[in-house]
Amino acid sequence: MNTATPRFVTAALYQFVDLPDFAALREPLQALCDANGVRGMLLLAPEGINGTIAGTPAAVHAVLAWLRSDSRFAPLQHKEAHADAMPFYRMRVRLKKEIVTLGVPGLNPARNAGTYVKPQDWNALVDDPGVVLIDTRNEYEVGIGSFERAINPHTRSFSEFPAWVAEQSQPGGVLAGNPKVAMFCTGGIRCEKSTALLKSQGFSEVYHLEGGILKYLETVPETASRWHGDCFVFDERVSVGHGLVRGQHQLCRSCRMPLGEAELQSPHYVPGVSCPYCHGTRTPQQERALAERERQMELAAQRGAEHIGARQRASLAGSGAEGSSSKQGDTT
């Protein structure tokens, strides 16, 4: 067993908590991260904190300890992943209206989220035909893996979810009659907000997977699992499977879509330039620029140096934790 200390640690974190002074936290938090060489992104909003940071284990834990020294952040939990190289290129602490954008005023997930269900108890809901099981993630995430019989709302961003709920609450929709509902997402943040949304609309039995898909894949043995495929993650791993083993997906560095084996074998896949999802959407000039960027990045890698073009590759991971990708339009 390898017990060596990892060179870098990536920590994904979020917490819904009332933060009326959220703006005052930005400068000291930015200064602390800079002083410790920590990079990534953290979002502060009146409803809490969300983001992903990376650095040496000591540096990352120093930032987490500083946050938890504030009694409001004492319950803050985080998920760690190890990396051999720094995945982010700068540190940004940003002020936002929401830490994950849903666009529905008045929701308070810190006080009115649904009922948590522990991963070891989740299969009972998946297996119950009387439960409406909803995947609250976006189309490109659902496309590489989900739970058995889960409903895909086919959203491009989380802010489209309320409209889907309104549509499906009409007669004939899957939410008509306020049935028992169970929802899940990558790490839990979107579900806290989506369950608060349903409760605000009169749904009485609303449940969500505690710790999200990632905690389920970490906790539940593959032999007992109801999960199929990989889970998209917002860091350099791109996807993970059971036991949080890194998946086989890669990111298209042009459009940032996750690519599986079929996409990587497509004639439309050109590393750094195009994939089956974005082929034909660039001008010839843009394709030449992307090809040159890819060439410069390869040369820099051969020299063991960072190239500024690599920032494009890391921008998805650098945008923060779940719900934060610029692909979703709600940068965390």
DSSP 88: -
313 sits in which H/E element: helix 310-318
Q: Would you call 255 a catalytic residue per the annotation?
A: no
Q: Which of helix, strand or coil describes residue 231?
A: strand
- Residues 170, 173, 176, 182: is their CA dihedral positive or negative? negative
Q: What is the rounded CA–CA span in Å between residue 214 and residue 203? A: 26
Decide: 190 and 114 in contact? Cβ < 8 Å: no
Angle between helices 161-168 and 189-200 (to 10 degrees): 40
Cα separation, 281 vs 165, in Å, equals 32
- Cβ pair 22, 72 in contact under 8 A: no
DSSP for 143-210 reads: TTEEETT-B----SSGGGHHHHHHHHTSTTSTTTT--EEEEE-SSSHHHHHHHHHHHHTT---EEEET
Sign of CA dihedral 156, 127, 144, 183: positive
Q: Which of 173, 144, 174, 140 is nearest to 154 (CA)?
A: 140
Question: What amino acid is encoded at 259 in this protein?
Answer: L
Catalytic site residue from 33, 185, 252, 275: 185
Supply the residues annotated as catalytic.
Answer: 185
